[in-house]
Amino acid sequence: MKAEIFQDVANLPTIMVIFGATGDLTNRKLIPALYNLDRQGLLPDTFQIIAFARKNLTTKEFCEYSKSQISKYKVAQIEDVTWKRFTRRINYLHGDFKEDQAYTHLAKELNKIDSDLGVCTHKIFYLAISPDLYERVFQGIGHTRLNQICQNLKDTRVVIEKPFGRNLDSFLKLNAQVSSVFAEEQIYRIDHFLGKETVQNILYFKAGNPVFMSDWSESRIDTIDIVMHETLGVEDRAAYYDSYGQLRDMIQSHMLQLAALILAEIPESMDASTISKNKEEVLNSIYIENIKRDVHRAQYSEGVVEGKLVNAYAEEKGVKTNSITETYVRIKAKVKGGKWHGLKINLETGKRMPEKKTEIRLHYKSAEPTKGLVGKNCLIFRLQPSEGISLEMQVKKPNNAKLETVTMNFDYDRSFREILPDAYEKILLDVIRMSKNLFPSAAELEASWKFTDMIVDEWRNDNIEIAKYPAGTLVIN
């Protein structure tokens, strides 16, 4: 069957196959996001979901199970009429990912849908499963040639979630596995944080505001602070988190991506390959002069967060005895080469912090054009929870000959009536519409892993006892 050419990328006939359809990720994130997109009329007219998992369920039973999970975790407001309409898009298929027969069955189902529709649909394979199963699933997809069912690579995409390995070697192995079946243009690596509207706005802000961009370089900007603070602990992620820690979980992915977006050259067009290449150059230019001096780690002890007494990390359920996993990291880094040469970048992230806050602060170099009047500015991207942009500037204080700092604010919720979309809604829409602008490439991730691996190697050879801080504070002992 030949693939038809559809001019409207927002309305491409599509089938999404969700591997691991009965898992937490599917029912807490994917199904709620797809349901909300459907309610808003944003899914293609022809959009089918094949929920693929090992449990022996009927389609009706799966839909009832999914609805109960959404209600349990309160991740979406379900309306009976719109839910009933949405579930018409779903077909449940059970099979063991370790058996070839499951993929043969899946291939027959995909071909049947295409035959019934009379068109070769776009295929999206979403791996909502443990990374331990990736290799077998890639083998199954390759064996049954599901990756090229329409003889057009662009018509088929695969979506994988972080973590993308736990170090450079494991990432390269994972990448070799997926690349043996899919071309780079088909691979969508999800960092859900990049789906936030406030993060995606960084590129657009830079392109649309020449007043700031006329000299967007180290010659004007002295330091950039990127802060990601959470009040939460490890919650139900202890088994995963204790083997990764804050460095791999937050800095290797989210924070280095934010740094890359801020420093990357403005692309001539919003072309995914150009954006990715620009970010890759930035990631390869960030370095640490002295890891022992410039990198600090700590782990939270018992304390009070938002008025409640919370356990120490070492006492969290699922954490290994005598764990030295870091829950806080502060890094002083620099940039080498290009217009940002010598720029200082401070990265700070931690769990059980005094407040939830994610922001990027660009500190402009101070100047004294008039003796006694020192000018200084700070541009702040507020990513959560109060999304917006602020500019700190100096003004004359009334009845005084001194300057005082005031803040000019842009707030999303005040300026736009639209509710900011959930990150997964935005990500899924980008996958469906084949927009790869903010999906990290293999080259970007390789550069990020090289950066964090150097720190891990240093820690491995360091016998110093990990510092502690009381939960709800920033007091490092």
Q: Is 356 annotated as a binding residue?
A: yes
pLDDT digits (tens, 9 = 90+) for 50-84: 999 999 999 999 999 999 988 888 878 899 999 99
Instruction: Judge whether residue 1 has pLDDT over 50.
Output: no
Determine the pLDDT at residue 6.
39
User: Is residue 45 a known part of a binding site?
Assistant: no
Higher pLDDT, 155 or 456: 456
Q: How large is the average pLDDT for residues 377-396?
A: 93
Residue 144: what pLDDT?
Answer: 76
Of the pLDDT bands very low, low, confident and very high (cuts 50, 70, 90), residue 12 is confident
Q: What is the pTM of this model?
A: 0.92
Residue 129 pLDDT > 90? yes
In this structure, what token pair is assigned to residue 46?
């022809």
SS3 30: helix
Q: Is the pLDDT of residue 9 over 50?
A: yes
105 is in an annotated binding site: no
Q: Which one-letter DSSP state was computed for residue 184?
A: G
- Fold category of 194-418+439-471 in CATH: Dihydrodipicolinate Reductase; domain 2 (3.30.360)
Other beta carbons within 10 angstroms of residue 395's beta carbon come to 9
User: Residue 54 annotated as binding?
Assistant: yes
Q: Looking at residue 205, what is its pLDDT?
A: 93
Characterise 41 by phi-psi region: left (phi > 0), alpha (psi -120 to 50), beta (else).
left
Confidence check: pLDDT of 7 > 60? no
Give the separation between CA 339 and CA 365, rounded to whole angstroms: 15
pLDDT at residue 298 tops 70: yes
Nearest to 168 by CA among 465, 454, 459, 419: 454
| pLDDT at residue number 148 | 58
The residue behind tokens 């009379």 is 118
Highest mean pLDDT among 106-115, 206-215, 317-326: 317-326
Q: 341 an active-site residue?
A: no
- Cα-Cα end-to-end distance for the chain: 66
Question: Does 334 show up as a binding residue in the annotation?
Answer: no
Cβ neighbours of residue 457 under 8 Å, at least 6 residues apart? none
196 is in an annotated binding site: yes
Joined tokens for residue 419: 């509710």
How do 344-350 and 221-229 pair as beta strands?
parallel
Q: Where are the alpha helices (DSSP H) in 74-188?
A: 80-87, 100-117, 134-143, 168-179
Between the alpha carbon of residue 330 and those of residues 227, 349, 359, 454, the distances in Å are: 9, 7, 15, 15
pLDDT of residue 473: 96
Confidence of residue 48 (pLDDT cuts 50, 70, 90): very high
Residue 249 labelled as part of a binding site: yes
User: pLDDT category, 8, cuts 50, 70, 90?
Assistant: low
Tokens of 60: 């009706």
Please indicate if the annotation marks 444 as binding a ligand.
no
Model confidence over 165-184: pLDDT tens digits?
999 999 999 999 999 999 99
Helix axes 80-87, 31-39, angle to 10 degrees: 110
- Note whether 13 and 44 are within 8 A (CB): yes
Max mean pLDDT range (343-347, 363-367, 402-406, 426-430): 343-347
* pLDDT, mean of residues 277-296: 97
In whole angstroms, give the CA distance from residue 406 to residue 350. 29
Structural contact between residues 380 and 390, judged by C-beta atoms closer than 8 angstroms: yes
For the chain, the structural domain boundaries read: 3-161, 194-418+439-471
DSSP-assigned beta bridge partners for residue 396: 403
Q: Indicate the SS3 state at residue 379.
A: strand
Average pLDDT over residues 187-206: 90
Instruction: Tell me: is residue 97 an annotated ligand-binding position.
Output: yes
User: Average pLDDT of 221-239?
Assistant: 94
Q: Considering the candidates 105, 143, 229, 254, report the single residue annotated as catalytic.
A: 254
Percent of the chain with pLDDT over 90: 71
Instruction: Please determine, for residue 449, whether its predicted confidence score (pLDDT) is greater than 80.
Output: yes
Does residue 443 contact residue 280 with C-beta atoms inside 8 Å?
A: yes
User: Is 433 marked within a binding site?
Assistant: no
Write down the architecture of domain 3-161 according to CATH.
3-Layer(aba) Sandwich (3.40)
In this prediction, residues 454-471 reach a mean pLDDT of 92
Chain Cα centroid distance, residue 462: 31
Contact (CB, 8 A) for 338 and 258: no
- Is the confidence at residue 390, as pLDDT, over 60? yes
Provide the mean pLDDT of the chain. 91
